[in-house]
Amino acid sequence: MKKLYEKNELAFAIIWIVIYCALQSLANPLNKIIGMEYAASAVFCMLQATAIFRFIRRNKLLKRYGLCKPSVSARRFLYYVPLAILITRNFWNGAALNLSLGGTGCYIACMLCVGFVEEVIFRGFLFRAIAKDDAKTAIIISSVTFGLGHLLNLVNGSGAGIVENLFQVTGAVAIGFLFVVLFDRGGSLLPCIMTHSAINIASAFADETGLTIEKRIFFQLILFVITIAYACILTKTLPAAEQMRE
């Protein structure tokens, strides 16, 4: 992988994305065979997260891919309050336990790793590979690719319906845009990883009783407003982290 990385960083990023999508698609039917929700998904995610982290650390790329402290104070990021609000999104309609005890444990383990893997491959590998030539294009591609990647849930056996999936895709594009701006402005993926993992974990406890399409749309609009407004504020008030180091 190191030779591929040195030869073509973009191809390296795409291969990791393909591996991730393939493993998650394979995990869904295995979960059913095992009889435990997210058991195989958690194992595959942990293995991929370990492999990615070892590669980054071994090649001294921790700072390049944001596995470090932000270069800007929390005050400049409004103390990340908008991120804390976004984490509560899954509880806007109430809370409930949706999985078995074992399934909940596997889900939490899986989502902790998903937050790390998805942020590194989409906001780290993919964004950095494209940003070398055009940062604005990299932001767009990273955001849209991350959102469209959720279309895979329609065919990979996850059980997501069309309406649910469309909400996932649109929300992921918006969140993806915010996260790549956070990384571009702060030089760290840690806030993105932690928020991403927390949002995903919270979804296991979301109460969807009485959650109508109208409510979903309303909640999604609030999410969009908070996400885009926060991203625009950061874009206007902070230079890119690379510029600050020059």
Per-residue model confidence (pLDDT) at position 244? 43
Please state the separation of Cα 231 from the chain's center in Å. 16
Per-residue model confidence (pLDDT) at position 169? 83
Please state the separation of Cα 133 from the chain's center in Å. 23
Per-residue model confidence (pLDDT) at position 161? 60
Q: How large is the C-alpha radius of gyration of the chain?
A: 18
Per-residue model confidence (pLDDT) at position 246? 39
Per-residue model confidence (pLDDT) at position 245? 47
**CA 184 – CA 140 distance, rounded (Å):** 12
**CA 81 – CA 99 distance, rounded (Å):** 29
Token reading at 79: 């103390």
Residue by residue, DSSP assigns 159-227 as ---HHHHHHHHHHHHHHHHHHHHHHHHHS-SHHHHHHHHHHHHHGGGB--TT--HHHHHHHHHHHHHHH
**CA 10 – CA 57 distance, rounded (Å):** 19
Per-residue model confidence (pLDDT) at position 229? 96
Per-residue model confidence (pLDDT) at position 30? 96
Average pLDDT per 10 consecutive residues for the chain, totaling 246 residues: 94 96 92 94 97 98 96 95 96 94 96 97 96 92 86 57 73 93 96 97 93 87 94 93 51
Q: Residue 206: phi, psi to the nearest 5?
A: -80, 135
pTM above 0.85, yes or no: yes
Per-residue model confidence (pLDDT) at position 159? 54
